[in-house]
């Protein structure tokens, strides 16, 4: 059974589970600098996907000067290809469904096709962030 939890930084238990997924995916799996991984936590709205009571995916959104930025999409390696990325992205977009401004992200180049299928379009030139190539992507309504 899939369960979606929306929470804030103050929920220590869920935050710990989300951090564990992100640590495994980004810090260990992609060699991202750990200090960059934990910025903007307190002002973000976080999402955690559970499958059979196990945390398998996480992501967050936060308000910026430009609109809402979607960030830190992470699915455990062992759980990829099962639709959990799709589920967490849809949960975030549903949460922002009444927002009329820009919704954007910095997507890793290798996963651009996934986000394009979900209604996002590349914007601008490719750039490096945390040692990984990215494109800015905007949700096209």
| CATH code: domain of residue 56 | 3.40.630.30
Contact 21, 56 (CB under 8 A): yes
In a domain, 113, yes or no: no
Chain centroid to Cα 14, Å, comes to 15
| Order of strands across the sheet that contains 67-75 | 2-7, 45-51, 54-64, 67-75, 103-108, 132-139, 120-129
In a domain, 88, yes or no: yes
In a domain, 128, yes or no: no
C-alpha to C-alpha distance for 7 and 129, rounded to whole angstroms:
26
Residues found in the chain? 141
- How is residue 99 written in tokens? 């927002």
pLDDT per position in the chain (141 positions), as tens?
A: 999 999 999 999 999 999 999 999 998 988 888 877 888 999 999 999 999 999 999 999 999 999 999 999 999 999 999 999 999 999 999 999 999 999 999 999 999 999 999 999 999 999 998 888 999 999 986
In a domain, 8, yes or no: yes
In a domain, 24, yes or no: yes
- How is residue 116 written in tokens? 């394009």
pLDDT given for residue 130 in this prediction: 85
In a domain, 122, yes or no: no
In a domain, 136, yes or no: no
pLDDT digits (tens, 9 = 90+) for 109-136: 999 999 999 999 999 999 998 888 999 9
Whole domain around residue 41: which residue ranges? 2-100
Q: How many domains does the chain have?
A: 1
In a domain, 133, yes or no: no
């Amino acid at each position: 059974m899939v369960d979606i939890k929306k929470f804030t930084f103050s929920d220590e238990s869920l935050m710990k589970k989300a951090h564990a997924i992100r640590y495994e995916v980004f810090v260990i799996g992609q060699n991202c600098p750990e200090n960059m991984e934990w910025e903007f936590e307190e002002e973000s709205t976080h999402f955690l996907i559970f499958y059979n009571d196990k945390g398998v995916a996480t992501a967050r959104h936060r308000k910026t000067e430009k609109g809402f930025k979607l960030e830190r999409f992470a699915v455990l390696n062992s759980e990829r290809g099962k639709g959990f990325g799709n589920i967490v992205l849809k949960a975030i977009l549903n949460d922002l469904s009444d927002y009329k401004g820009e919704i954007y992200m910095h997507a890793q180049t290798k996963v651009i096709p996934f986000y394009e299928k979900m209604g996002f379009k590349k914007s601008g030139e490719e750039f490096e962030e945390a040692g990984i190539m990215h494109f800015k992507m905007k949700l096209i309504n």
